[in-house]
Amino acid sequence: MLRYLTAGESHGKCLVAILEGMPANLSIDPGRINHELKRRQQGYGRGGRMMIEQDAVQILSGVRRGKTIGSPIALEIANRDFSIDQLPAVTRPRPGHADLTGALKYDQHDVRSILERASARETAARVAVGAVARILLEQFEIDLVSHVVRVGGIDAAPVQDLDVARLRKKVEGSVLRCADSAAEKKMVKLIDAAKAAGDTLGGTLEVVVQGVPPGLGSHVHYDRKLDARLAGSLMSIQAIKAVEMGEGVRVSQVRGSELHDQIFYEKGKGFYRKTGRAGGFEGGMTTGGPIVLRVHMKPLSTLRRPLKSVDIKTKQPFVATVERSDVSAVPAAGVIAEAVTAFEIANALTEKFGGDSVGEMTRNWKQYLQQVKKF
């Protein structure tokens, strides 16, 4: 079983993560982790902070001569903007942020003590963990990518081809990680307009995973259902308000005959489906088909346009002051969603195939694929 913890504040010294349960003998290239960290820093609509930070990982433990040894892996990412002790106290909570509720709960009269940890900066640590999980997934021929399907009110044309390598080619060079270049141009304009108005924008992203064998997760108990674990993890990403799998919320609008993916069989090919409306899950287990997750992000809550709030010290209403912030971070949320998805799938793989060494896992994986093929 895999587990991890993160620590660190947005303007603290660094972010750290401890990842426990990774099998031994996995080659870890720090460059691979840094590649993911860099992807998270990109995307049209980000603010001044991303010009300051150049996220890079230090592996502090758990890796010897480039390979995991089964012990906890400690990862550190330094903050260039390490200024937490110099920054002024904050008494003006932003609607939509953790500010007010966190201050009430932890009895903090300087909201900075809340917002520093609530900040989405923490996701750099999660992306580092996800990058290690991804390296494990690669051993088992599992690949994944995210792409943006909506910013504000603008929708991209639905993607028909779910091949991850082809989708990656389409979105990786794009400023919004969007496969529909005409829609992307409109999204960029919308972000510019929101920026000019001192406002912010949310959006929707999709994560597509391919190569996952059938039977990860389990129907037998609520806390072993992989779709539920994934939904919880994705929902825990800052600013995410809804998560869908496959047809998602549309399942409540159609008849069963229009929804369920019918089952076919061919000798040599085995069991297969012609549709993927379940999003890759039945009974909380992977079906073996592509996993499609749709994640909805609210507009960021740090905006220059005044929203009504009350100073916690004076109890007087105030009008927000100008603050450095992103306008939109939907592409970054996609990279973070990939990371938490990679972690959950890697965790389910270690549960199914054993998590002590890569060799042991590989043997069990190959035998299981044979079992499924012969079934």
Residue 333, burial from CB neighbour count under 10 angstroms (0-12, 13-18, 19+): buried
Residue 304 CB, nearest approach to ligand EPS (Å): 12
Would you list the DSSP string of 232-293?
A: HHHHTSTTEEEEEETTGGGGGGS-HHHHS--EEEETTTEEEES--TTTTEETTEE-SSPEEE
User: Which of 99, 261, 326, 344 forms a contact with ligand EPS (CB under 6 A)?
Assistant: 326
Nearer to ligand EPS, 99 or 180 (CB): 99
Nearer to ligand EPS, 124 or 188 (CB): 124
Q: Does 49 bind ligand EPS (CB under 6 A)?
A: yes
* Strand spans (E) along 158-262: 203-210, 240-245
Nearer to ligand EPS, 185 or 298 (CB): 298
User: Which of 26, 90, 99, 119 forms a contact with ligand EPS (CB under 6 A)?
Assistant: 119
Residue 113 CB, nearest approach to ligand EPS (Å): 14
Q: Which window, 47-55, 70-78, 261-269, 290-298, contacts ligand EPS (CB under 6 A)?
A: 47-55
- Cα 28 to chain centroid distance, Å, stands at 21
Q: What is the CA radius of gyration of the chain?
A: 22
What are the residue ranges of helices labelled H in 74-121? 99-106, 112-118
Residue 21 CB, nearest approach to ligand EPS (Å): 26
**Partners of 154 in beta bridges:** 151
Residue 47 CB, nearest approach to ligand EPS (Å): 5
Q: Does 325 bind ligand EPS (CB under 6 A)?
A: yes
Give the contacts of 21 (CB within 8 A, at least 6 positions apart): 1, 2, 3, 347, 350, 355
User: Which of 124, 142, 179, 194 forms a contact with ligand EPS (CB under 6 A)?
Assistant: 124
Subset of 69-108 contacting ligand EPS (CB under 6 A): 81
Is there a contact between 303 and 198 (Cβ–Cβ < 8 Å)?
yes
Residue, CB closest to ligand EPS: 49
Count of residues of this chain found to bind ligand EPS when the rule CB under 6 A is applied? 13
Give dist(CA 288, CA 297) in Å, integer.
Answer: 28
Nearer to ligand EPS, 14 or 369 (CB): 14
Is there a contact between 19 and 82 (Cβ–Cβ < 8 Å)?
no
Q: Does 6 bind ligand EPS (CB under 6 A)?
A: no
Nearer to ligand EPS, 325 or 341 (CB): 325
The site for ligand EPS (CB under 6 A) is made up of 10, 47, 49, 53, 81, 119-121, 124, 302, 324-326
